[in-house]
Amino acid sequence: MKPPNITRREFARVAAIGAAGIGGVIAAKAAASASRLKITIIGDSSCIPDLRREVACFLINGKHLVDTGWCAALRMREHGFDPLALESIIITHFHQDHYIGLPQLLFYIGLRKRPGPPLNIVGPSENLQRVVEAADAFLQVPRFPELAVNRKLVPLAAGDKFETPELRFDTFAAHHVSGTNRIEQALVYKVTDKASGACAVFTGDTHHHPPIAEFAKGASLLIHDGAHTAPKDAARIAQQASVKKLVLIHYTQSRAAKILAEAKAVFPSTELAEEGRTLEVSAP
C-alpha cells in the first residue's frame, strides 16, 4: 500500500533506491567474503618430478612465487601467469630442487625487462646471497649485463618477518636434515592477508616437527610436506593446529593414493596438491 502524502512516482523512486541499497549491501558482503588470499599450485611433485609434472612450488595471489621448481617460469606461463608480474620469489630452503629453476626465471625476467620496483628474493639467510650470486654466475651476467634483474635480497632467520603492502609473512624453523645428516636452515612461513585476515601456513620440506602446530594455529590452510613427514604425522599437526584444510605437497604419483588415505584417516579434511588448482583461503 502506498504511504500517504507521496506520489506514485515518488513511491516507486524510493522503493527502487531501497532495493538498490539492499543489493549493494548484499554485493558488499559477498565481496568481503570472497577470498583475498589465493594459492595456485604450479608443481606438486618430489625432488625428481614425475613425467609431465613439476617439483613442489606455488603462487600466492599470482605475484609471489614460493620455490622455483625445475622450470617454474615455463610452468607459470602454461598455467596463464606472467613471470614479469612477480613481486617476490620466496624460497623455503636451499636444497637444489627448491631453487634449481631460479637461473631460468632470472633469465626470463632479465631478458624481458620486468618493469616496476625491485623484485624481492626472500629466503633463509645462510645461503640466500650465495645461491643468487651463483645464478648470476651461471647466466654470465657480467658478460651479458642486459640480463641483470632489478632485485632486493631479503635474508630471513626463523622468527623474522617480511611484508608487502597486502601481505605479511611470519617465519618459523622447520626441521629438515640434509643427505649428510646436517640440519638445513629451512623456514615455515605463515602468510596473512592484511585486509581480510585470511591466513595460510606452508612448510616447505620438513621432517616431523610437532611445534609447527602451534605456529599454524589461527590459519585456515596448512600446506605441508608430504615427502619427509609421514602423512599421519602431518595430519596430526593439522588436527592440533585446528586448521580447516590440510594440503599435502611434494609427493610422487605412485604414492598419492596411499598418502591421502593415511592422512585422511587422522584428519578427514586432507587433500593432495594438484598442479593448476587454485586454493581460496578464507578468513579464520
Which pLDDT tens digit goes with each residue over 111-148? 999 999 999 999 999 999 999 999 999 999 999 999 99
- Provide the β-strand partners of residue 245: 221
Residue 1 has pLDDT above 90, yes or no: no
Question: How far is C-alpha 185 from the chain's CA centre?
Answer: 19
What are the φ and ψ backbone dihedral angles of 240, each rounded to 5 degrees? -70, -30
**Res. 15 pLDDT band, cuts 50 70 90:** very low
Name every residue whose Cβ is closer than 8 Å to that of residue 207 and which is 6 or more positions away in sequence.
175, 176, 177, 228, 229
End-to-end CA distance of the chain: 45
**Res. 258 pLDDT band, cuts 50 70 90:** very high
**Res. 7 pLDDT band, cuts 50 70 90:** very low
Residue 14 has pLDDT above 80, yes or no: no
The answer as to whether 18 is a domain residue is no
- In this structure, what C-alpha cell is assigned to residue 56? 613442489
The answer as to whether 14 is a domain residue is no
Residue 21 has pLDDT above 50, yes or no: no
At residue 179, the pLDDT reads: 76
At residue 35, the pLDDT reads: 64
Q: What is the domain count for the chain?
A: 1
The answer as to whether 9 is a domain residue is no
The answer as to whether 73 is a domain residue is yes
The answer as to whether 176 is a domain residue is yes
Q: What CATH number has the domain bearing residue 226? A: 3.60.15.10
Residue 274 has pLDDT above 80, yes or no: yes
Who wins on pLDDT, 26 or 128? Answer: 128
Which pLDDT tens digit goes with each residue over 196-226? 999 999 999 999 999 999 999 999 999 999 9
Average pLDDT of the chain to the nearest whole number: 90
Residue 23 has pLDDT above 90, yes or no: no
Residue of 160, 157, 97, 90 lying closest to 120 (CA atoms)? 90
Residue 32 has pLDDT above 60, yes or no: no
Could you list the beta-strand ranges (E) of the chain: 37-43, 57-60, 64-66, 88-90, 119-124, 151-156, 161-163, 167-173, 176-177, 183-184, 187-193, 199-202, 221-225, 245-249, 270-272, 278-281
Which pLDDT tens digit goes with each residue over 35-94? 689 999 999 999 999 999 999 999 999 999 999 999 999 999 999 999 999 999 999 999
The answer as to whether 1 is a domain residue is no
**Res. 34 pLDDT band, cuts 50 70 90:** low
The answer as to whether 98 is a domain residue is yes
Which pLDDT tens digit goes with each residue over 232-247? 999 999 999 999 999 9
By residue range, what is the domain housing residue 92?
36-275
The answer as to whether 25 is a domain residue is no
- Cα angle value 75/152/205 (rounded, 5°): 50
At residue 33, the pLDDT reads: 44
What secondary structure letter does DSSP report for 2? P
At residue 69, the pLDDT reads: 96
Residue 254 has pLDDT above 50, yes or no: yes
